[in-house]
Amino acid sequence: MNKKKQKTYINIAILILVAGGMFYFMSQYLLAYIGNMSNEVVVAKKNTVLITERNKKIDEVRRNYNNIEKEIGVISDTFVKKDYQKVGEMFMELEEIARMNNIVLIKNPAQKPEEKMGNSISAAYFTMSSNGGFDDMMRFLLYLDNFRYYIDLNNIQMSGTGEDQNGITQVVMNAELQVYLDSK
């Protein structure tokens, strides 16, 4: 029985070694698999953070776009609609502002062609000549600065012509008027 016991012990030892070897290789495989999965989880977490940050930026861009779109709506109201009636109405308002300020206003199309400024915006040029009292002219320019339509005055030239019978300095002003037209 001694030999039988020894054989049994040897068989048990071999079985334990084989089981241990299998356990070792399986545990190495499982540890490598867990390590890979852990790396994938870390990469997925980083990607999730990047996607979350990108989505926040996209949301911010959308909010900014919506705000800009609202502002563009307000800004586009300051452009004259590109039709003769609307341009005529704008000039009638200018003439009324001039009359309110005791200014004689003469306007003519400029020698410059209409200039395209964007998809639907263009600039038309007119020359403007006006005369009146210096204080009235300054008030007229202030009104133009706050005019409901967006216009630019360029190449402003002002010269005195003397005083009227009330001692008020009279001036003549020539300028180029740039009117922004919206073809939408």
pLDDT tens for 150-183 read: 778 888 888 888 888 888 888 888 888 777 767 6
The Cα–Cα gap between 107 and 112 comes to 14
Q: Are 46 and 85 contained in the same domain? A: no
C-alpha distances in angstroms, 84 versus 23, 91, 99, 138, 157? Answer: 91, 10, 22, 29, 28
Q: Are 6 and 57 contained in the same domain? A: yes
Q: Which domain holds residue 52?
A: 1-76
First-to-last C-alpha distance (Å) of the chain: 108
Residue range 16-24: mean pLDDT, rounded:
87
C-alpha distances in angstroms, 87 versus 16, 75, 110, 124, 149? Answer: 100, 17, 15, 10, 11
Q: Is 20 helix (H, G, I), strand (E, B) or coil?
A: helix
Q: Are 86 and 68 contained in the same domain? A: no
**Which of 25, 44, 76 corresponds to the end of one domain?**
76
Between these two residues, 138 and 113, which has the higher pLDDT value? 138
Give how far the C-alpha of residue 88 lies from the chain's centroid of Cα atoms, to the nearest Å.
32
The Cα–Cα gap between 26 and 18 comes to 12
Domain count, the chain: 2
Q: Are 155 and 93 contained in the same domain? A: yes
Burial of residue 79, with CB atoms counted within 10 A of its CB: 0-12 exposed, 13-18 middle, 19 or more buried: buried
Q: Confirm if 126 and 135 have CB atoms less than 8 A apart.
A: no
Q: Are 151 and 106 contained in the same domain? A: yes
**Which of 48, 76, 104 corresponds to the end of one domain?**
76
Taking the whole predicted model, whether its pTM rises above 0.85 is answered as: no
Determine what percent of the chain is predicted with pLDDT higher than 70: 83
Q: Are 149 and 164 contained in the same domain? A: yes
Across 110-145, the runs of DSSP E, i.e. the strands, are 115-116, 121-133
